[in-house]
Amino acid sequence: MGVSKRVEINALYGGLMSIVLDQLIRWYGNQAIVDQVSLEVADGELFVLLGASGSGKSTVLRLIAGLIQPDAGRIVVHGRDVTAVPPQQRNMGFVFQNYSIFRHMTVAQNIEFGLKIRKVLASERARRRDELLDLVGLVGLGNRYAHQLSGGQQQRVALARALAYEPKVLLLDEPFGALDVKIRAQLRRTLKEIQRRLQITAILVTHDQEEAFELADRIGVIERGKLLEVGAPETLYAYPRTAFTATFLGTATVLVGRVDDGHACFGSLQLPLPLDSTIDYEDGDRVQILVRPEQVVLSITEPKTHVPVIGRGTIVEQSFAGDRRRLRLRLPHLPGVRQIAPVAPFGEEGLLVDTVVPTDVPLAGEAIWVSLRAWHMLKPPPRRLLLYDPAANTSVTPVLTRWLAEKLDATVTVLGIAATNEGIDPVGTMLQRYLDAADLPAELHLRVGDAEQHIITEQTESLYDLLVLGCGESTSTVATGQAPDVRMIERIARGAITPILLVKGSRTQLTRILICTAAGEPGKNDVRTGGRLARRFGAMVTILHVSHPVRGVSLLANAHLERAAATLRALDVTNTIQIYPSSTPAEGILHVAGTGDYDLIVIGNHGPITPALFGGSDVTRQVITHAPCSVLIVPDDAL
Amino acid sequence: MSSMSRPNRSAGNRRGSAGAVAQPSPWLPVGMLIVVLLPLLLMPLAAVFIFAFRGGVGAFIAALLIPDAQFALRFSLLIAFATAFLNGLIGTFAAYVLSRYRFPGERPLNIVVNLPVAIPTVVVGTSLLLLWGPIGLLGRWLDPLGLQPMFTPFGVLLAHLFVTFPYMLSTIKPLLDELETTYEEAAYTIGASRWQTFWYVTLPALRGGIFTGALLTFAHSLGEFGATVLVSGNLRLRTQTAPLYIFAQFEAGNIAAANAVAAVLAALSFVIFFFLLRYTGNGR
Amino acid sequence: MKYVTLAPYLRNVIPLTLLSTLALYALWPWLPFTREAIAPRTIVFYGFSILGSVMEQAIFPAFQAQWYAQTGEQVEFISSFAGSGTITNQIVMGVPAELALLSLELDALRLSEAGVIDAESWHDLPERGVVNRTPFVILVRPGNPKAIHDFADLTRPGIGVVHPDPLTSGGANWAIVAEYGAGARADPDRPEAGYDLLLGIWRNVVAQAASARSARTQFENGFGDALITYEQEALYDQARGRLQAEIIYPQRTILSEHTLVVIERHTALAQRELIAAFVQFLWSEPAQRLFVEYGYRSVYEELNRANPQFGAIHDPFMIDDFGGWPQAKRDIVEGIWKDRVLQELEQ
């Protein structure tokens, strides 16, 4: 039976893999510190698990060693399922950060310990011990005790001890973390040499990307228990898929722009989209660009026209690193662009770009042109919806949100606001029940205090594609936040770059959409955003223009309606144009929406500063207040 | 002003060591401390030895050779050895469990095991009598069976185990808490079973602590009076420990006999204390 | 900081050697080759405090010799001496005493009340259980600097009296009856004469000890000007030239009587014969002579002439003169001393 199982697993993994982790899960409380980690490490490979402290990397190592048990998943070593095998029988060497040299034993006794346990003859033990002392470069120190050795020497002993019984696998948990830089470099070389010579499969855990680069055949980046990316050091550095990997592996400038017209747009800078058939870029999608310091070109004079230029900036920070000088430049803000890395200090409005120059290059005092020599587009992050539904009425909003999430292929975050700290738990319970009732998978964010403030903060801190505000009647006993009134919605909308969906009425699907170009200057954004959503929803669109009852439709409006229709056609969205004369646009919109059985009104948020013909924001306010169905407010700034 | 400060400064320089902040002479506070300690600690101890040898060395030895004195000393030593050994086992085990396992009720249990330090020994004696004595909760069932631990050496041992329980625990548990679990985990990955790990890795790391704890336990057992006087029945040649003998002889006016044994006890304590200092001080 | 340097191997050798020496010493009598072949027979004897010397030095050896001569068996005495109340409490709590010599009958009564012995079983013994007697006397500092000649002198202001505690000491109970009786008998027509004397003396009590013996120790350590105690104790020390005090015989005082009880339920069947022999021995002439030699007055009056130290007492009295211990305890110790004297002193 053992044989047949072995064959099966070998067949499964081709017999090449030294270590196979299959969907490993380990819970800590109700949090997965190792979350479905699957990994294959080849024979003789030195694999480095790289992650910040608390990322779960050491836990993975301890799972492999058998020091803790996974809650789910399998560990296969050389074709043998060892998931249930105790650590003693896994035949692995383990090196700890704190060396863990047995203090009452000499170096020799420490090294021989594994052999003694295995009842190896004394003469054989001595031979092996001498070999290992030689291997780790500690000849002559066999009779010392741990307290007579330096940290580096102790770690060499630990390495020798772990290798003494010729394990199949060597596991190292931050082995150089407690050593100073010089010793660390020496030991890395020693480790690499030994690993190469013995051809032993090794997994090393570290938080130090330099160490990972230097040692690893392959690196696995781990964050919050999830193995994000695996790859060769150079590949991961140059072509990471996620922003986390990009920023974790070295200095990075990561910016978020939008796809427009088949290009990745960062303000005025347009870059070609990568020719990656697996990713279907759509206009309006977010796109992330990674620029490594060495890919930035600085020049005093304006670069030639075909060179992608970010702008002109000044040096705000610099640090001397021997042969190089690290620089941070501040450039003017690019409209519609958000910065992920470097993390901007609070209140920073400009764009920050990190770069590096040779130390002997003189630094100019004036503004410097910043352009790109090369760049890398990261994998577009999943779309995200932020739901705030204080009424927690389960009949409409969550059902509609689920429908939206499915249509937009988005993940949902629900914001719950408690009035006091004591209120947090009831609100959490309440919302969980609410989500369960609608069968809506979502992440819960619970906050205390002012709803408006938290919504704005949440929006600025994370990248959401849509903010969903429930405006239904409350049926719950626990308030999960203040109900959004018109003024609050206005204030949220004022600073928002995210479209806001106010859920009203009883529709749980949005298949009839009314896009209003009410004000004399119909926004391009309203049409684009509404159109893109309509395409996703498979909805029918009516473009509404409320004309002056006396003057009729102006030439400008006419041209604009034509352009809007063309845009929608380009998006493959069925649309009609309706012109409705009314002295007050709001009344017109509400009348059409009421009689036309629409599910959604799309309206621009032109803000109070726009001197609209019929009184700009007042229209928005009236529509928000009186609309019989849901309303989508599209901000000016949104692309 | 300046003419005044000059001689002062030069005087100060001459007195103080170069560059150091002028430190006041230590002799005043040290002298005061000695004046306080002299009647408090040093003189009473000296008195024991002075009185013990007042009748000459011959009388001192004669007083020690009284069979009762011999028995009391031997009995005390045996009880102390047994207490140190048993509490060495139980205390190490308790420390291991309390340090290595997390379980509900851990905190209260931690307090309970240290309770004997806080309980007056007389109360310990009384409570043992009220449990095991002929009229005690358990004793009333055992007595008809002819089992009576009180007023026997076993009863004395019980009392001493109770009173000295925390000493072993409190020396070993901090060591275990400090001994990171990685040492044990290292042994596991190397291939050592739980038992081998305990025997080859954990226990040797606790060696110094166990020795210190055993010495402390031994010393406390040797001097235990309050609980012993109640549970022993104070029977000469049966259950009379050295402190009980000293007290009985002192009460009976045989100061010389009492002092001879007291001097031996004091000397033993000094020796134990000396080793305690060496072992804890050298920090093995 | 190396104040002591030892060769490394000595670091462990020295404590180990010391420990094994201690262990060897402690275990010596129990080691197989040092152990006596036959375990001796034992008698567990509890006695009140002042009995210690006469029993251990004279009575036990004498009986051991006699029993050995008769049977060829070794007898070992396991004994404990403390205040009469203390040993009574211990026996009630269950110490395995086979015999107890108590300083007053009241303690025997307490044992029978606790069910340890049969009621008044000691009355079946010779002399109703009384083994020996001794009068209560006053000890004063050498030269009698405070000129104390009788109980009445102890009531003078400025005199410090050391007295055992009636709660734990049998002797203290005797002393209280002695003090009260002396007053009452000196002035039989005045009912309050006894109370007045008792109150007067207790005004001057400066130290209370747990037993008669420890009261003596306190007095010898310099406490007070006078000690009310057993004549025996004073005589015993006087005979050995150790008495650093003078004995004052009051005109009137009580003769304390010491009661033996046999705790049968602690006495195995096989022990009965041995215990009975020892009980018989206590009232034998050789034993009584030994008591006299150690300063006790024998229950056989004619033997008392053998000790010339015994002082003359003008008006000796007994507890039976007050109706026996139960009544004396109730009327005098409780009724007068505790309820009236102590109350008065507290105010």
What is the Cα–Cα distance from A45 to A228, expressed in whole angstroms?
A: 20
Query: What is the separation of C-alpha A545 from the centre of its chain, rounded to a whole number of angstroms?
Result: 41
- Pick from A566-575, B113-122, B196-205 the range whose average pLDDT is largest: B196-205
Q: What is the pLDDT of residues C239-286, one digit of tens each?
A: 777 778 899 999 999 999 999 999 988 888 888 899 999 999 999 999
pLDDT, tens digit, for every residue of B215-269? 899 999 999 999 998 888 888 788 899 999 998 887 777 778 888 999 999 998 8
Query: What's the pLDDT at A477?
Result: 63
The backbone torsions φ and ψ at residue B149, rounded to the nearest 5 degrees and listed phi first, read: -70, -25
- Boundaries of every domain in chain B: 23-52, 55-281
pLDDT band at B8 (very low <50, low <70, confident <90, very high): very low
Bigger pLDDT: A12 or A16?
A16
- Contact between A595 and A544 under an 8 Å Cβ cutoff? The reply is no
The model's pTM is 0.69
Beta strands C130-140 and C252-262: pairing type?
A: antiparallel
CB-nearest partner of A113 from B185, B190, B205: B190
Task: Name chain C's partners: 3 or more CB pairs within 8 A.
Answer: B
CATH topology of domain B55-281: MetI-like fold (1.10.3720)
Chains in contact with A, where contact requires at least 3 CB pairs less than 8 Å apart: B
Share of chain B above pLDDT 70, in %: 90
The domains found in chain C, sorted by start residue, are 41-132+258-301 (3.40.190.10), 134-256+311-346 (3.40.190.10)
Chain C residues whose beta carbon lies within 8 Å of the beta carbon of residue B139 = 94
Report the residue from B151, B240, B253 with minimal CB separation from C216.
Answer: B253
C286 Cβ neighbours under 8 A, 6+ residues apart: C62, C66
Nearest to A88 among B180, B182, B192 (CB): B192
pLDDT of residue A318: 87
pLDDT digits (tens, 9 = 90+) for B87-107: 999 999 999 999 888 888 888
Q: Which fold has domain A2-231?
A: Rossmann fold (3.40.50)
pLDDT at res. A559: 81
Determine which of A59-63, A173-177, B108-112, B231-235 has the lowest per-residue pLDDT on average.
Answer: B231-235
Residue type, C39: A
pLDDT value for B130: 86
β-pairing verdict for C130-140 and C161-164:
unpaired
Alpha helices (H) along C135-209: 170-186, 193-203
b/e B187-198 (16+ beta carbons within 10 angstroms → b): bbbbbbeeebbb
Nearest-Cα distance to chain B for A24, in Å, is 20
**Euclidean distance between CA atoms A96 and A105, whole angstroms:** 17
**pLDDT value of position A615:** 42
Residues of chain A contacting B, Cβ within 8 Å: 62, 65-67, 86-94, 96, 98, 100, 102-105, 113-114, 117-118, 158, 161-162, 165, 171
Q: Write the CATH number of the domain with boundaries A383-503.
A: 3.40.50.620
Could C93 and B248 be called an inter-chain contact, meaning their C-beta atoms sit closer than 8 Å?
no
Q: Across the interface, do B189 and A94 touch by the CB < 8 Å criterion? A: yes
Question: Chain B residues with CB inside 8 Å of A114's CB?
Answer: 190-191
Single-letter code of the amino acid located at C203 = R
pLDDT bin (cut points 50, 70, 90) of residue B14 is very low
**CA-CA distance, B237 to C75, in Å (whole number)?**
13
CB contact under 8 A, C213 and B251: yes
How high is the pLDDT of residue A16? 61
Q: For the ranges A58-72, A110-124, A250-264, which has the lowest average pLDDT?
A: A250-264
Residues of C in contact with B252 (CB under 8 A): 49, 52-53, 81, 213, 217
Residues in B touching A89 (Cβ below 8 Å): 191
Stretch (H or E) spanning A341: strand A338-341
pLDDT at A277 (0 to 100)? 61
- Tokens at residue A172, please? 């190292």
- Answer with the residue of higher pLDDT: A510 or B146: A510
Confidence of residue A3 (pLDDT cuts 50, 70, 90): very low
Residues of B with CB under 8 A from a CB of C: 71, 73-75, 77-78, 81, 129, 133-135, 139, 143, 148, 150-151, 233-238, 240, 248, 250-253, 268, 271, 275, 278
Query: Which residue, among A427, A436, A293, has the nearest Cα to A370 in the 3D structure?
Result: A293
The whole-number pLDDT of residue C34 equals 62
With bands split at pLDDT 50, 70 and 90, how would you rate the model's confidence at B18?
very low
Judged against a pLDDT cut of 90, whether residue A61 lies above it is answered with: yes
Top residue of B182, B189, B197 to mutate, by most chain A CBs within 10 Å, is B189
pLDDT value, residue B22? 62
Instruction: Kindly list the partner chains of chain B, i.e. chains with 3 or more CB atom pairs below 8 Å.
Output: A, C
Domain A251-378 part of CATH 3.40.605.10: no
* Phi, then psi, of A21 in degrees rounded to 5: -105, 130
Quickly tell me which residue has 């008044």 as its tokens.
C120
Q: Does the fold of domain A512-635 match that of domain A251-378?
A: no
Mean pLDDT across chain B: 84
> Which residue of B74, B236, B252 is in closest CB contact with C78?
B236
Q: What is the dihedral of CA A472, A473, A477, A481, to 10 degrees?
A: 50
The verdict on a CB contact (< 8 Å) between B190 and A117 is yes
pLDDT mean over A119-147: 91
Task: Tell me: cis bond preceding A342? Omega within 30 of 0 counts.
Answer: yes
Mutate to test the interface with C, among B130, B151, B268 (most CBs of C within 10 A): B151
| Least-confidence region, from A427-441, A616-630, C74-88, C324-338 | A616-630
> Cβ separation of B189 and A87 shorter than 8 Å?
yes
* Per-residue model confidence (pLDDT) at position B189: 93
Using the structure block, give the residue that is written with the tokens 């002479």.
Answer: B25
C-beta atoms of B235 and C22 within 8 A: no
Interface A-B, measured as beta-carbon pairs within 8 A, has a size of 68
pLDDT at C38 over 70: no
Closest Cα of chain A to B122: distance in Å? 42
pLDDT of residue A221: 95
The CATH classification number of A512-635 equals 3.40.50.620
Taking CA–CA distances from B206, the nearest residue in chain A reads: A104
Q: What's the pLDDT score for residue C7? A: 55
- Name the residue among B77, B251, B275 with its Cβ closest to that of C211: B251
- From the list B180, B182, B191, the residue facing A114 with the nearest CB is B191
CA distance B206 to chain A (A): 10
B253 contacts C80? CB cut-off 8 A: no
| Pairwise CB contact (< 8 Å): A96 & B185 | yes
Strand partners, A542: A514, A576
The helix (run of H) or strand (run of E) holding residue A288 is strand A286-291
Residues of A in contact with B185 (CB under 8 A): 62, 65, 67, 87, 94, 96, 100
- With bands split at pLDDT 50, 70 and 90, how would you rate the model's confidence at A429? confident
Cβ distance B234 to C76 less than 8 Å, yes or no, reads no
More confident residue, A625 or A1: A625
> How far is the C-alpha of B260 from the C-alpha of B60, rounded, in Å?
6
Indicate whether A637 pLDDT > 80: no
Considering only CB atoms, A65 lies closest to which of B180, B189, B200, namely B189
* Better-predicted residue by pLDDT, C214 or A109: A109
- Measured between CA atoms, the residue of chain A closest to residue B179 is A100
Chain B residues inside the 8 Å CB shell of C27: 74, 78
C220 shares contact with chain B (CB less than 8 Å): yes
Mean local confidence (pLDDT), C287-296? 92
Give contacts of A65 with chain B, Cβ < 8 Å: 185, 189
Q: How many CB atoms lie within 10 A of CB A625?
A: 13
The pLDDT of residue A474 is 63
Residue with the bigger pLDDT between A112 and C7: it is A112
Cite the DSSP H helix spans in A353-408. 397-408
Instruction: Determine what percent of chain A is predicted with pLDDT higher than 70.
Output: 91
With a CB cutoff of 8 Å and minimum separation 6, the contacts of C253 are: C135, C136, C137, C151, C178, C181, C182, C313, C316, C317
C23 lies within 8 A of chain B by CB? yes
**Distance from C-alpha of A261 to C-alpha of A239, rounded to nearest angstrom:** 24
Whole-number average pLDDT of chain A: 84
- List, for residues A454-507, the tens digit of each pLDDT value: 888 887 766 788 889 888 766 666 677 777 777 788 778 776 778 889 888 888
User: How does DSSP classify residue A172?
Assistant: E
Query: In angstroms, what separates the C-alpha of C285 from chain B's closest C-alpha?
Result: 27
Q: What does the pLDDT read at residue C251?
A: 92
Q: Contact C63/C114 with Cβ under 8 angstroms? A: no
Tell me how close the Cα of B234 comes to any Cα of chain C, in angstroms.
6
CA–CA min distance A139, chain B (Å): 22
Residues A102, B201: C-beta atoms closer than 8 Å: yes
- Residue A614 has what pLDDT? 40
- Residue B239 CA, chain-centre distance (Å), reads 20
What is the reported pLDDT for A28? 87
Note whether C132 contacts B: Cβ–Cβ < 8 A: no
Q: Sorting pLDDT into bands at 50, 70 and 90, what band is C82?
A: confident
Q: Closest partner residue to B182 among A98, A118, A162, by Cβ? A: A98
Q: What is the pLDDT of residue C2?
A: 39
d(C-alpha B100, C-alpha B108), whole Å: 16
Chain A residues with CB-CB distance to B187 below 8 A? 102, 113
CA atoms within 13 A on the CB side of C248: 23
- Identify the pLDDT of residue A639: 39
Residue A291 predicted with pLDDT over 70: yes
Contact A296, A252 (CB under 8 A): no
Angle, helix A181-198 to helix A151-163, in steps of 10 degrees: 20
Query: Per-residue pLDDT tens for A521-571?
Result: 555 677 888 888 888 888 899 988 888 777 777 777 788 888 888 888 888
Domain boundaries, chain A: 2-231, 251-378, 383-503, 512-635
